[in-house]
Structure 1
Amino acid sequence: MPAYHSTFLTEDSVDNRIIGNLVLLPIHTNYRGPLYPPQQDYDIIEEILDLFRANSFFKNFDIKGPADRLLIYGILFISDCLSKLNNRVNYREAIRILNNLSLDSFALPGDIGFPLNALYQPPSNKNEADLLRSYLQQFRQELSDRLLKRIYAQDENVPSKYWLAFTRRRFMNKSL
């Protein structure tokens, strides 16, 4: 059975900017950054959250376009987020932990510390690298915020065991 791919593969047109081979898709967000809201309600963040648990079982992933690369990055970031949480962390502490993780410095494609340099092309110049860094920071903040809302939907004192069960799963045997 193949892994689930992004539904935004057909939207890699002139409307969306591509840096390297990673597309900058619009998302609904309250965080500052270079993004604009999408036309529809369903955005790439919702798709990543919906596909995370199903795709985390796969060790191989056939990339069909730039939106799949963003999907991979989001799934790996969720894995990092879940590894920072445990069943004794309440909602307020989880917000602090994941905000720090979202705002920490991170490697871009082409940097030495980036784990998937074989799959991603680096930005072509410094302006594109700055745009990609601000996009990914905004992306990480929104993704961690929506992830927390799903994990703590039932109880603010105890995270969902159905999400924390995936803390040891490693998508493609990689981590950010």
Structure 2
Amino acid sequence: MPAYHSTFLSDPASNERLVGNFSLLPLKTKFRGPAYPSDSDYDIIDEVLDLFRANSFFKNFEIKGPADRVLIYGILFVSDCLSKISPSTSASEATKILTNLSLENFAIPGDGNFPLNSLYQPPRDRSEHDLLKGYLTQFRQELSARLIQRIYVESQSTPSKYWLAFTRRRFMNKSL
């Protein structure tokens, strides 16, 4: 059974804004950043959250386009977020933890300590580097906020055991 790929691969508008081979897809977000606002109800962050649990079982993933690279990055970030949350963490504590995680200094493609440099092309110049850094910051903030909404849907005091069961899974045997 093959892994699930991004539905935004067939969208010609999604491939217009590229930094290296990373697609800057539109987002439905309340956070400031360089991402274009999404017109649809379903964006790449919804797709990352929908496909995370299914794709986390796969050790191999064939990249079919720039949108798949965004999906890979998102799945690995969700995995990092889940590893920071314990079964006794409340929603307010999780919000603080994941907000700090999404805003902390992180590596982007092309940096020496980025673990997936073999899959991503580096930005061409400083302006592309800043654009990608801003996009990924906005992407991480929105993804962590929506992840908290999904994890704490039943109770604000304890996270869903069905999400925390995936803390030990490593998609593609990688982590950010």
Do Structure 1 and Structure 2 share a fold, with TM-score over 0.5? yes
2:142 maps to which residue? 142
Where do 1:1-176 residues align within 5 Å?
1-13=1-13, 16-176=16-176
Q: CA deviation at 1:37?
A: 1.4
Higher mean alpha-carbon deviation, 30-39 vs 153-162, is at: 30-39
Distance 1:27 1:20 in 2: 19
- TM-score, normalization by structure 2: 0.98
Q: CA deviation at 1:39?
A: 2.0
Q: How many residues align?
A: 176
State the Cα RMSD in Å. Answer: 1.0
Distance 1:12 1:140 in 2: 24
Amino acid at match of 2:145: D
Q: CA deviation at 1:15?
A: 6.8
**Greater than 2 Å deviation, 4+ residue runs:** 12-16
Amino acid at match of 2:97: I
Gap runs ≥5 in structure 2: none
Task: Answer yes or no: is the 8 Å Cα contact 2:49–2:147 preserved in 1.
Answer: yes
Task: Answer yes or no: is the 8 Å Cα contact 2:14–2:67 preserved in 1.
Answer: no
Amino acid at match of 1:110: G
Q: CA deviation at 1:30?
A: 0.4
Q: CA deviation at 1:69?
A: 0.2
SS at match of 1:36: coil
SS at match of 1:132: helix
Alpha carbons of structure 1 residues 41 and 157: separation in structure 2 relative to 1, 3 Å: same
Percentage of matched positions with identical amino acids: 67
Higher mean alpha-carbon deviation, 164-173 vs 9-18, is at: 9-18
Distance 2:40 2:94 in 1: 29
Superposed CA deviations along residues 50-103 of structure 1, whole A, max 9, x for unmatched, are: 000000000000000000000000000000000000101000000000000000
Gap runs ≥5 in structure 1: none
- TM-score, normalization by structure 1: 0.98
Distance 1:16 1:24 in 2: 8
Task: Answer yes or no: is the 8 Å Cα contact 2:14–2:23 preserved in 1.
Answer: no
Distance 2:98 2:20 in 1: 27
Distance 2:13 2:155 in 1: 41
Higher mean alpha-carbon deviation, 34-43 vs 137-146, is at: 34-43
Q: CA deviation at 1:14?
A: 7.4
